[in-house]
Amino acid sequence: MTDQTVLIVDDDPRIRTLLRNVLEADGFAVEEAETADGVHQALSQGPISLITLDIHLGKDNGVDLAREIRRTSEVPIIMVTGKDDVIDRIVGLEVGADDYITKPFHVREVTARIRSVLRRSGDKEQVPQQEVSTPEQQNPNGSRSYCFDGMTAVPDEMRLMDRNNRECILTSGDFKLLTVFLERPKRVLSRDQLMSLIGGTEWNPLDRAIDNQIARLRKKIERDPSTPKIIKTVRGIGYTMACDIKVNGP
């Protein structure tokens, strides 16, 4: 059994019951809340390992609640959004959420994402320096890896190692966007192409979702995000992966 506790935040009791049953069967302890007040109360009563947070909470706003939580806590947050809530999803990630799941979801996807986020959020403190793998050891299962500007990405395992061979925490959305660029180096990709390739909705000139996601990714991978050298802007068109990439594996 695990000592990790997941706080399920949703105003639909059926969703809370469904997730509770699945998570408890997987060995997690579970707390529930249906309002912002309930979340604050749960956080004050004991340690919470991760929060699943529905964006739409009746009178409360999940994005605003995520922002409030981030002011005082680094607890991992997985946003739960509707299929068409692309902008809310991006804003949620911008304010500090670690990942998102869209409704309708498969319960096994939820547990898989929870375990992935917990692993990524915990590795930064739990992996001793002497046990950190080298770039050549980061794909022991034969997965394809991409080395660029001193970093190594293994898309099949959703792992990104930084220039000190430490795991860099990315959301699944950030990693999907990074993978799009890694698989298409030196190609100029329009915003419309990027939105399509990451599985989003059709882009329009007033939609800043891709630009916001690019800005967030740059903060994680660029040496100086204010003067990006890896993902460069091509004025009037879109973006390109400008650095050299070495591909290892099949």
- CA atoms of 83 and 196, how far apart (whole Å): 15
Residues 6+ apart with CB under 8 A from 79: 53, 54, 55, 62, 63, 66, 88, 89, 92, 93, 97, 99, 100, 101
Residue 57's CATH number? 3.40.50.2300
Confidence of residue 89 (pLDDT cuts 50, 70, 90): low
Domain that holds residue 185: 136-248
Q: In what order do the strands lie in the sheet with 238-241?
A: 188-190, 238-241, 231-234
How many domains are contained in the chain? 2
Residue of 98, 110, 50, 54 whose CA lies nearest to 80: 54
Q: Are residues 121 and 177 in the same domain?
A: no
**Residues 29 and 62 grouped into a single domain:** yes
pTM above 0.85, yes or no: no
Residues 21 and 91 in one domain: yes
Q: Is the per-residue pLDDT at 120 higher than 80?
A: no
Q: Could you tell me the maximum CA-CA distance found in the chain, to the nearest angstrom?
A: 54
Residue 130 lies in a domain: no
Say whether pLDDT at 1 is over 80: no
pLDDT for position 135: 44
Cross-strand bridge partners of residue 151: 148
Residues near 58 by Cβ (< 8 Å), separated by ≥ 6? 11, 34, 35
Residues 108 and 161 in one domain: no
Assess contact for 91 and 67: CB atoms under 8 A.
no
Max mean pLDDT among 92-96, 122-126, 179-183 falls in: 179-183
Say what the pLDDT of residue 110 is. Answer: 85
Residue 95 domain-assigned (yes or no): yes
pLDDT tens digit sequence for 19-52 = 999 999 889 999 999 999 999 999 988 899 999 9
The predicted pLDDT at position 88 comes to: 61
Note the pLDDT tens digit of each residue in 172-224.
778 889 999 999 999 999 988 888 888 755 444 445 678 888 998 999 999 99
Say whether both 94 and 33 belong to one domain.
yes
